[in-house]
Amino acid sequence: MSATPELAKNGPGAFVRPSKRQSRTDDDVRGRLSDSIEENPSDICTYLELVRLLQDEDQLSDARQVLDRLHERFPLFAPLWTIELGYDLERDEFAHAETLLTRSLSGELDNNDLGLWFMYLDFVRRKNNIITGGEEARSVVLKAFDAVATKCASYEPRSSAFWTEYLSFLEHWKPVSKWEEQQRVDLTRSLYKRMLCIPFDGLERSWSKYTQWEQEVNSLTARKFIGELSANYMKARSLYQEWANITKGLRKTLPSRLSQCSRQTIPQPDHYDIDQLRLWKEWINWEMQNKLDLPEPEHNQRIEYVYKQSIQHLLFSPEIWYNYSMYVMSSSSAKARDILVAGTKAIANSCTLAFKLAESYELQNDVNEMQLCLERCIDYLVLEYHIMSDENQDTYEKRQKITFAYCIYMNAMKRVSGLSAARKVFGKCRKLKDLLTHEIYIENAYLEYHNQSDHKTACKVLELGMKYYSDSGEYVNKYLDFLILINQDSLIKSLFETSLDKVVDADQLQTIYKKVINYESKFGSLNNAYSIENRVFEKFPHLEKIEVFTDRYQIQNSNLVKMLELDYLQDSNHPFQSSEHGRKRLRENSSSASAFNNNKRQKSEDFVTDKVIEILKFLPKRQYFKTAVLDAEKLTRYLSENVTIPSSTEANQIV
């Protein structure tokens, strides 16, 4: 097993950022782009910039190598295949184009994008010229159209361009005999029957065209064929409208040529639209309902098609990759693992995908691959950390993520190889104290405690952490939680006293005080609790005494005094409505408000008599007036200042 990436790369010295390994002149564009790719291997646009540069310099072999690296990292991102295929077909390089088509459209993780299949059709039609190839060439092209319809177009709601092209191919067929004419009619009718049962854009236009075509072919049989297809067409039209409503706002446009690629049209690392993710998930959930009543194999293919399409647009969303792998898990665990592998290549810094893939290897008892999977993720996170550090960015969250990954790595090694293997991982982490956060010590302490039922080693680990995090209130609080859990009274008091002058964060220090007061009031002496309370108020005179008092009576980390009696003291994170007392108060307030509104309405009815209402009925509606003819505010002010409004009794006497 290889060493942990950080140790293997860094050794005793510092990490060397790739772009700083050698200085680059301003005119060395290729070198600087290569350095950028090494720093951020998920940045597709940088690769494509380098490809464009190499193509302009007519270095086609080097350009293909860069594109091959892209295909290796993003095998399911179809636009990359489409761009290279378009370039090959423009240059009539059919041999290389055929190789690309084989790689992209076959295999366990074949692409299923309509734009890529259009390239396949273009390739087949150019290789099989109907003018020179005759019937044999036409037969090959028809098989290609049928393959695209089966593999892709039947599942794509925005496939009208394909169906139009398919029909156009049949329409331009010039039969030389009655048998060929009948064959063309049968193929056309079969195509209409197929496409008009599928929900896609342009369905109504295609139906109108079909009915007209049937009338032209044979008006005597037209009604029969149209009637047979009408019900399926109506269902497909209804389903397309339903799909369109569900996916309103969904973006499905991607570049097909290198000139169209930019950071606005290509997915960017660590960025994806949450609203788009929601729409894709809604589409997938809609497909799960199988409203087309498809057989199970075809239904599964349709759902997989949508998953693969979602990856095109949410390439850097871990959730989409995860959901896709979970969907295919029931039918093929190997394919699910392949999807996770592809996901970790695309999103190298995703802990979600790395952890799930590591689990998959662990279940297969492949410990070596499990370790490599976790180490590759850590390796990439460390690379990002050093780049951020060189650029003077805040690295705390990145350090937390690296620490988190190491915690999972340590626990995984305990499961598969025992406590000694986990201790080796922790030993490596200790050498990276400037890179990791305090969580690694907390996690290791709990691991030691739960696997040995002995608190001594765990306490030694936490005390070791105090050498580096004694001023961290968060660490001290977690240390206290552990000591309270294992009931080490003397250690609790010792840690409390030694931490008061070291912890910097005032909020964390208050939490430490309150935690020990709560501990003393439950398991110690009330006099000790009072003594610590006095010290709290000396240190923080602005604290409300009732706040400290109620915190002392927390049960299972819940301040029930506030929740049940002093609910108005709770913060916004614990609204009083959550408690029964709060709900009662809410109902009382609601009843009061309802009574007030009823009383207000009654007063309004007393003031506005039936005769006034009758007069108002004859006034024109406000919609008839384009501009305001009366300033209501001025009228109200005038009436309140100059007119005495009589009571209802006086008004009745006047009338």
pLDDT tens sequence across 327-338: 999 899 999 999
Q: What is the mean pLDDT of residues 452-477?
A: 92
- The percentage of residues in the chain with a pLDDT greater than 70, rounded to a whole number, is 85
Q: How far is CA 311 from CA 64, 112, 342, 601, in A?
A: 24, 11, 11, 57
Q: How far is CA 602 from CA 587, 597, 605, 609, 636, in A?
A: 22, 9, 5, 12, 21
Q: In the numeric block, which tokens belong to residue 452? A: 């040995």
* pLDDT at 574 > cutoff 90: no
Question: Does residue 145 lie in a domain region?
Answer: yes
Higher pLDDT, residue 568 or 69: 69
Q: How far is CA 293 from CA 236, 280, 376, 516, 520, in A?
A: 11, 21, 43, 63, 66
What is the pLDDT, as a whole number, of residue 10? 38
Q: What is the mean pLDDT of residues 167-187?
A: 90
Q: In the numeric block, which tokens belong to residue 143? A: 């098989």
The CA R_g of the chain, rounded to the nearest whole Å, is 36
DSSP 309: H
Q: Which of 260, 277, 303 is the last residue of a domain?
A: 260
Q: Name the 3-class secondary structure at 642.
A: helix
Distance in Å from the first CA to the final CA of the chain: 103
Taking every pair of C-alpha atoms in the chain, what is the biggest distance, in angstroms? Answer: 110
Question: Does residue 30 lie in a domain region?
Answer: yes
* pLDDT at 312 > cutoff 90: yes
pLDDT tier, 66 (very low <50, low <70, confident <90, very high otherwise): very high
Return the residue matching tokens 């239904």.
Answer: 299
The rounded distance, in Å, linking the Cα atoms of 530 and 520 is 9
Beta bridge partners of 558: 555
Q: Which of 260, 295, 317 is the last residue of a domain?
A: 260
Helix axes 396-417, 439-452, angle to 10 degrees: 20
Q: Is 614 exposed, middle or buried (0-12, 13-18, 19+ CB in 10 A)?
A: exposed
SS (HEC) of 416-448: HHCHHHHHHHHHHHHCCCCCCCCHHHHHHHHHH
How is 124-159 classified by DSSP, letter by letter?
HHHHS-HHHHHHHHHHHHHHHHHHHHHHTGGG-TT-
346 within 8 A of 316, measured Cβ to Cβ: yes
Amino acid code (one letter) for 264? Q
- Residue 62's CATH number: 1.25.40.1040
The rounded distance, in Å, linking the Cα atoms of 150 and 108 is 17
* pLDDT at 123 > cutoff 90: yes
pLDDT tens digits for 125-139?
999 988 888 889 999
Question: Does residue 180 lie in a domain region?
Answer: yes
The rounded distance, in Å, linking the Cα atoms of 117 and 297 is 21
Please compute, for residue 559, the number of CA atoms within 13 A of its CA located in the half-sphere on the CB side.
22
Q: In the numeric block, which tokens belong to residue 633? A: 């505010």
Q: pTM score, two decimals?
A: 0.81
pLDDT tens digits for 607-632?
567 777 777 766 666 655 656 666 66
Tell me the residue range of the domain where 600 lies. 582-654
Chain center to CA of 178: 57
Q: How far is CA 255 from CA 81, 83, 127, 267, 299, in A?
A: 11, 8, 25, 11, 29
Residues 6 or more apart in contact with residue 617 via CB below 8 angstroms? none
pLDDT tens digits for 74-107?
999 999 999 999 999 999 999 999 999 999 998 7
Residues 6 or more apart in contact with residue 411 via CB below 8 angstroms? 422, 443, 447
Higher pLDDT, residue 343 or 635: 343
Per residue in 235-263, is it b (16+ CB within 10 Å) or e — as a string? ebeebbeebeeebeebeeebbbebeebee
Q: Which of 200, 227, 260 is the last residue of a domain?
A: 260
CB count within 10 Å of CB 483 equals 23
Q: In the numeric block, which tokens belong to residue 58? A: 């007519």
Return the residue matching tokens 């003291």.
Answer: 569
Chain center to CA of 362: 26
The rounded distance, in Å, linking the Cα atoms of 445 and 457 is 8
* pLDDT at 490 > cutoff 70: yes
Dihedral pair phi/psi, residue 110, rounded to 5°? -70, 150
Question: Does residue 98 lie in a domain region?
Answer: yes
CB count within 10 Å of CB 554 equals 18
What is the pLDDT, as a whole number, of residue 168? 94
Dihedral pair phi/psi, residue 392, rounded to 5°? 60, 35
DSSP 578: G
pLDDT tier, 583 (very low <50, low <70, confident <90, very high otherwise): very low
Question: Does residue 477 lie in a domain region?
Answer: no
81 within 8 A of 111, measured Cβ to Cβ: yes
The rounded distance, in Å, linking the Cα atoms of 537 and 534 is 5
How is 175-206 classified by DSSP, letter by letter?
-SSHHHHHHHHHHHHHHHHHHTTS--TTHHHH
What is the pLDDT, as a whole number, of residue 184? 92
The rounded distance, in Å, linking the Cα atoms of 389 and 383 is 10
- The percentage of residues in the chain with a pLDDT greater than 90, rounded to a whole number, is 67
Q: Is 347 exposed, middle or buried (0-12, 13-18, 19+ CB in 10 A)?
A: buried
Question: Does residue 623 lie in a domain region?
Answer: yes
Question: Does residue 298 lie in a domain region?
Answer: no
Amino acid code (one letter) for 267? P
Tally the domains of the chain: 2
pLDDT tens digits for 183-199?
999 999 999 999 999 99
Average pLDDT, the chain: 86
Q: Is 50 exposed, middle or buried (0-12, 13-18, 19+ CB in 10 A)?
A: buried
pLDDT tens digits for 230-253?
999 999 999 999 999 999 999 988
Question: Does residue 203 lie in a domain region?
Answer: yes
Dihedral pair phi/psi, residue 220, rounded to 5°? -75, -35
What is the pLDDT, as a whole number, of residue 595? 53
